[in-house]
């Protein structure tokens, strides 16, 4: 009888050990799979240069030029979004250690300072649109120190969706309008907006900003984008007067290509009375908005 009890006890312990080992093994496999999944995640970003139906960023300047408002559109299907805002500013009277400032033989400073701002967008709510203000400077205890002479820069968006990662880069030009000339230009100089009428309107607006887009609002039926798309915006609650717009393309556009303006307040594309001179298209416009050359879909 004692031998029988010992045999059952031994086999019971063996069975328990086997079960424990099975659990440990299964746990190890699951942990390895989880680690492998993380390691096989997005290691390289895909540059999203332009996708008519993809996400895009609209930039709006603050009236004092010390900040901009980042408005992201068509973002509902993405898991995470972060951004990098890079720009240059003019130096203060004193040399800042580590900054890229040149010095002439008499000890005077010149050149520019590289600046950058990084941040993340809370995407937990899976909204189709996000908005966030980005300062050109730093604030501490309600005291802000703003960078001076900010004009040109880039906005890089890092967007993830499942195991895919995308990088969107847009160029922007912040400009205090030349009140005497009433001329606004994009960073690459290919888009020019000349404001008609009273120049005092420009003075009241403060600043404007032009940036190229990686996507566009829903296009009219049977139309597709030709070349780059630009967004010209003024501070929120301000309006830009009408004027003339010209857009220089890399090549001569095909017959039937027209300038269009997306009126954000009405939520619609408007065909403009376009004149074509070689690779340059021009038209009269009623104000700010998104500007693109559209042609018939193939």
Is 28 within the bounds of a domain? no
Q: What is the mean pLDDT of residues 128-132?
A: 87
- List Cβ neighbours of 240 (8 Å cut-off, separation of 6 or more): 195, 201, 205, 208, 232, 234, 287, 288
Is 291 within the bounds of a domain? yes
pLDDT, tens only, 44-81: 888 888 999 988 999 999 989 999 999 999 888 888 88
C-alpha pair distances (Å), 56 with each of 59, 75, 108, 196, 294: 10, 8, 42, 29, 18
Buried b (16+ CB within 10 A) or exposed e, 282-298: bbebebbbbbbbbbeee
C-alpha pair distances (Å), 213 with each of 52, 154, 155, 201, 232: 9, 12, 11, 26, 11
Residue with the larger pLDDT of the pair 264 and 293 = 293
The sign of the torsion formed by the CA atoms of 57, 286, 266, 248 equals negative
Q: How much of the chain, in percent, has pLDDT values that exceed 90?
A: 47
* pLDDT at residue 252 in the model: 95
Residue 15 has pLDDT above 50, yes or no: yes
* pLDDT at residue 298 in the model: 78
Is 31 within the bounds of a domain? no
| Domain with 110 in it | 46-296
Q: Token digits for 267?
A: 């939520």
Q: What is the mean pLDDT of residues 1-22?
A: 57
Domain total for the chain? Answer: 1
Q: What is the mean pLDDT of residues 248-270?
A: 93
Is 27 within the bounds of a domain? no
- Put simply, whether the predicted model's pTM sits higher than 0.95 gets the answer no
Rg of the chain (C-alpha set): 28
Q: What is the mean pLDDT of residues 162-181?
A: 84
Is 253 within the bounds of a domain? yes
Residue 262 has pLDDT above 70, yes or no: yes
233, β-bridge pairs:
209
Write the DSSP string, 7-55.
Answer: HHHHHHHHHHHHHHHHHHHHHHHHHHHHHHHHHTS--SPEE----TTS-
C-alpha pair distances (Å), 167 with each of 49, 50, 129: 8, 11, 18
* pLDDT at residue 225 in the model: 96
| pLDDT confidence bin for 6, thresholds 50/70/90 | low
Distance CA 226, CA 250 (A): 10
């Amino acid at each position: 009888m004692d031998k029988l009890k010992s045999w059952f006890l031994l086999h019971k312990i063996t069975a328990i050990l086997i079960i424990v080992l099975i659990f440990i093994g299964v746990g190890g496999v699951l942990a390895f799979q989880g680690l492998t999944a993380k390691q096989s995640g997005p290691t390289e970003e895909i540059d999203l240069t332009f996708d008519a139906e993809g996400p895009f960023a609209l930039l709006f300047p603050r009236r004092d030029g010390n900040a901009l408002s980042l408005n992201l559109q068509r973002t509902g299907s993405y898991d995470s979004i972060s951004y990098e805002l890079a720009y240059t500013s003019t130096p203060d009277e004193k040399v800042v250690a580590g900054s890229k400032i040149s010095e002439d033989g008499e000890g005077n400073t010149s050149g520019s300072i590289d600046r950058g701002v990084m941040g993340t967008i809370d995407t937990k709510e899976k909204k189709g649109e996000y908005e966030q203000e980005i300062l050109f400077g730093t604030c501490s205890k309600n005291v802000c120190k703003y960078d001076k002479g900010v004009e040109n820069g880039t906005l890089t968006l890092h967007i993830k969706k499942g195991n895919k990662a995308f990088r969107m880069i847009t160029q922007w030009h912040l400009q205090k309008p030349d009140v005497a000339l009433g001329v606004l230009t994009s960073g690459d100089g290919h888009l020019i907006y000349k404001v008609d009428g009273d120049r005092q309107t420009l003075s009241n607006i403060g600043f404007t900003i032009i940036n190229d887009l990686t996507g566009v609002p829903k296009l009219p039926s049977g139309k597709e984008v030709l070349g780059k798309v630009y967004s010209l915006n003024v501070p929120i609650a301000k309006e830009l007067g009408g004027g003339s717009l010209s857009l220089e393309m890399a090549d001569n556009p095909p017959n039937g290509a027209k300038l269009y303006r997306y009126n954000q307040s009405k939520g619609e594309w408007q065909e403009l009375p376009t004149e074509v001179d070689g690779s340059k298209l021009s038209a009269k416009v009623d104000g700010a908005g998104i500007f693109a050359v559209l042609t018939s879909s193939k």
